[in-house]
Each structure stands twice: as structure tokens, then as C-alpha cells.
Structure 1
Amino acid sequence: MYIPKAFEVTEKEKLYNFIKNNSFGILFSQDDIGPMATHLPFLLHESGQLSTHMAKANPHWKSLNGKEVLVVFQGPHAYISPTWYHEENTVPTSNYVAAHVYGTVKIVKSKEETVHLMDQMVNLYESGLSEPWTAPFGTKFIDGLMNGIVMLKITINKVEGKWKLNQIHSIERQQNVVNGLRMAKNIISLKSQT
């Protein structure tokens, strides 16, 4: 990812928090057939690994074991109108927050580890609900579903972060963009109500 210094984020804790809060990502790889991408939920582990799962019916997993992949996590993003700057000689742009994770894939073969990782993921995603669901592992229904997935662990080799949020502009321009975004949000909100 092209990252000008003004937009670069290198603090590991900040990047990991961003990934945890925006944990639905896209796993990209390249093989003899060409590029492949799959949208997946990810779990970030303190050990410096990501885990995820995909359907066995998805051919993407078949060429991943031992390969380096890219996982892209995208956060908030918005179109920025040049009219919001209230100045001449400006052009449209986009503001956004993103992290790229490069790592090496290992396919999990152990049923016990697969269940353990899936249980952790379910617990994470259910934790904010008032009545969290608990996966009844060991039942015929869940075992049948578990037989239809492949669990992946990705050892993180490198993380890049880009926060492109008008940092290179004056405070006045930044405030004009904030005001423009608020106005645009209100317009979008009004359109959705009609």
C-alpha cells in the first residue's frame, strides 16, 4: 500500500486495536490460476496470529498452506468534496482508515484446535449481545457444519496502517471537512427517510 509519511501509522497497539474493531477483512492470495480474494471474519490473537475459517467448497483455501497472503481491513471512509474547503484550486478526494496484514498461512488440521478457535470467534462476536449464543459443539448439527469449513491460522509477518484524514491540511480546512461530512450525513439520513 502506498503510504505517505503524514498518513503512516506504525504503532502496533493502535494497528491491532483497529483490526480488532474492524475484524471483517479480505484475504488476498495469488496462485497459478491468478489472484483470489475471500471476505472473512478474523480473530486477532495476542501471539501475533490471525485465525479465520472458510467453506471447504471455496477453492481458495486449497492453495494457501505455507503461502504468504495479504489481509486488508478497512475502517471508516468518506468522499470529500472540494466545495467543503471553501477555497479555489481544490479537488475531490477520499478519507479513509485501513490496515494491511502480510502473513503466512497454516491450515489447521486438528478438530480440537478448529473447535477451540471457532469457539473463541463465536464468543468474541457474541460478547456484545444481551443474550449471547453459545455454540453447542458436539451436536450432530454443529458437527455437520464444522465438517464443511477449513480453519486457517496466519502468522503475521508485517502490518501497515494508513490513516488518511486530512492531516496535511490546515486546521481550518480540517474543520470545514468535518462540517461537510456532518452535512452530508444529515442529507443521507434525510434521503433514507423518504
Structure 2
Amino acid sequence: MHPNPAFRQDDRALYEALIEQVGFGMVFADTPDGPRVAHTPLLSTGDGAIQFHLARGNALTRHLAGCNALAVINGPDGYVSPRWYADPAQVPTWNYIALELEGPVRRMDADGLQGLLTALSQQQEERLVHGAIWTMDKMPKEKLRAMLAGIAGFEMEIRAWRPTFKLSQNKSQDERERVAAGLEVEGSPAIARLMRQLGDAQ
């Protein structure tokens, strides 16, 4: 989390929206083999937890249950050039959105894992424009059982939410608009849009 309090948003609904929209993140934990990270789809339960799954062979899988872990979801980002300020005698920076979640992890049972995969695939399939929605019942039962045996499901109880919404809030409104316009022109429209939606709300 960025140390400047200007870059924080105290909005749980916004955090939940970021998890849902991005849907993917990193889970970090310390293990007897050293610190490890896994990249995985993430699903919010809506009541203060996130769920995810890992391959059984992943370096984190055998260590996660019962440990305290950190999950990170990254939103849009973009390089900010000093040339966009009225006074260019400033340093470059980077605008970005990130959410850190910390808490204890438990391993899910087989029913919980299947429920997670069903909810996750439904959430993502409904976003696709073309073709019929795929559902897990389209898989032969034996093949599904074999695939489920190769992964493990986990749930993290979120005890700490640490957001960073670095959107040039430490600059004037005119300067923020200049930066947003620069980001937009240079191919970072998502962070520019969020600067206009959220940056002025501070």
C-alpha cells in the first residue's frame, strides 16, 4: 500500500468491484522453502473472503492451509510523464490501482472446490459476447473428477484490506486533467477514466 493517505479510498464496494472486474491476482506466502507466489483467478464471497484454486503441484499448495497469506489484485496503471504538467520540472511517476488483502487461509473440501469453479466459470462465461454459455455439466463426470483431483481450493478470510488508488490526487484538478489526457492519448484509457471518476472525489 502506498504510504500517502491521499491515494486511499475507503470504499468496500469499490474493492469488491475491483476484485470482480479484474478476477485475477497473486497470492503470496512464506513457506519452509522461502517466499512463494501463485497467480490465480479470485472470487469474492461477498462476505469478507476470497476463494481461489491452485494446481496440487504448485509450490504454495501444500503450505497454504492454516497460514496467513497476502493476495494482491492489480487494476489499470500507466506511466505519468513530467511533460504533461504545466511545469515540467517534476519527476516521472506511475499511476495505478492495487488492492492488498491479508488473512488466514483454509483448504476447501471437494464440494466447496466444485462450487467455486462453478461460480467462477459462470461469472466469466456471462461476460463473453459470442457463443452459448459453457457449464461444468458439459464435461463427462469421470473427466471432471480427474481434473478436480489435480487442483486444490482455498478460502482466505480477509482481515486487512489495503488499497492504493494512486490517481494524481496530490495535484490540482487542472494538472490531473492534463495527466488523464496524456494517459488517454498514449494508450492507457482505463486509468485515465478512473482518474476522472475517482480522483476528484478526494
Same fold (TM over 0.5): yes
8 Å Cα contact 1:8-1:162 kept in structure 2 = yes
Equivalent position of 1:100 in the other structure: 100
Equivalent position of 1:179 in the other structure: 181
Equivalent position of 1:123 in the other structure: 122
What aligned pairs does 1:102-181 form with structure 2 within 5 A after superposition? Answer: 102-108=102-108, 110-130=109-129, 131-136=132-137, 139-181=141-183
Equivalent position of 1:83 in the other structure: 83
Deviation, 1:182, is 2.3
What aligned pairs does 1:49-60 form with structure 2 within 5 A after superposition? Answer: 49-60=49-60
Q: How many residues align?
A: 185
Equivalent position of 2:196 in the other structure: none
Distance in 2 of aligned mates of 1:3 and 1:23: 25
**What is the letter of the counterpart of residue 177 of structure 1?**
V
Equivalent position of 1:40 in the other structure: 40
Normalising by structure 2, we get a TM-score of 0.86
Moved over 4 A (4+): none
Deviations 1:37-84 (A, max 9, x none): 011001100221111101011121111111110000000000001111
**What is the letter of the counterpart of residue 166 of structure 1?**
S
Normalising by structure 1, we get a TM-score of 0.90
Distance in 1 of aligned mates of 2:153 and 2:23: 16
Partner SS state of residue 36, structure 1 = strand
Is 91-100 or 169-178 further displaced after alignment? Answer: 169-178
Deviation, 1:138, is 6.0
Deviation, 1:139, is 1.3
Q: CA RMSD in A?
A: 1.5
Structure 2 unmatched ranges of 5 or more: 189-202
